[in-house]
Amino acid sequence: MTPALGKVRSPPVMSRTNYLKGYAPEIVKQVEELVASNRLADLLRSRYSENHQLRTDKALYNYAMELKNSYLRRAGPISKVIYDDKISLKHHALGLHTFVSRPQGRKTKAKNEIRISSLLKFVPEAMLRAVVVHELAHLREKAHNKAFYKLCCHMESDYHQHEFDLRLYLTLVDSGDELHGRR
């Protein structure tokens, strides 16, 4: 008599549209069709002709400060804006805003830092801008609420489109393709 064999389970397959959770099923299906037919890169290339040139932390800091000074003059100061190799999609983040309060004598000193994933060194400027705007909005609004997204849209009128396109870009990268390469 031979022992009964149990069913062998295959490992779960990670969906290529993991970045589109919460979107309507019709949209997810359209993106899956674009990936399957290798047309997603062409769609994104038609919207974004080239990558940004902000490769250094100093250039990124100046870029963020220009946006902050244009839209959030009265918000607290930012002490640091850098690319961070440790931020990855495993953390479900492309950018982090940290706020630290430290006692300094009788006063409390506040320090804001923005860290942007190094994955965004080679994306179109509009996608980088969406992440920087998102993190800057946290200077005023800590929670992701209606006022937060209204502020994001104030700083970047096409914020939601660029954020969605960034999700498409991440889907493209997960499928093994690139948009413009690393220039």
Does 14 reside within a domain?
no
Does 143 reside within a domain?
yes
Does 179 reside within a domain?
no
Instruction: Give the C-alpha separation, 171 to 2, whole Å.
Output: 46
Does 183 reside within a domain?
no
H helix count then E strand count, the chain: 6, 3
- Enter the pTM of the model: 0.83
Q: Write the CA distances from 49 to 34, 85, 104, 122, 146, integer angstroms.
A: 19, 26, 48, 12, 32
Does 114 reside within a domain?
yes
Instruction: Characterize the bridge pairing of strands 78-84 and 107-117.
Output: parallel
Does 101 reside within a domain?
yes
Tally of structural domains, the chain: 1
Does 121 reside within a domain?
yes
> Domain range for residue 152?
24-174
Q: Write the CA distances from 59 to 28, 54, 66, 80, 97, integer angstroms.
A: 35, 5, 11, 12, 18
Taking each helix axis from N to C end, the angle separating 57-71 and 146-155, rounded to the nearest 10 degrees, works out to 110
Q: What angle do CA 28, 18, 46 make, to 5 degrees?
A: 60
Tens of each residue's pLDDT in the chain, 183 residues: 444 444 443 333 345 568 898 899 999 999 999 999 999 999 999 999 999 999 999 999 999 999 999 999 988 889 999 999 988 765 567 887 777 777 878 888 778 899 999 989 999 999 999 999 999 999 999 999 999 999 999 999 999 999 999 999 999 988 888 887 665
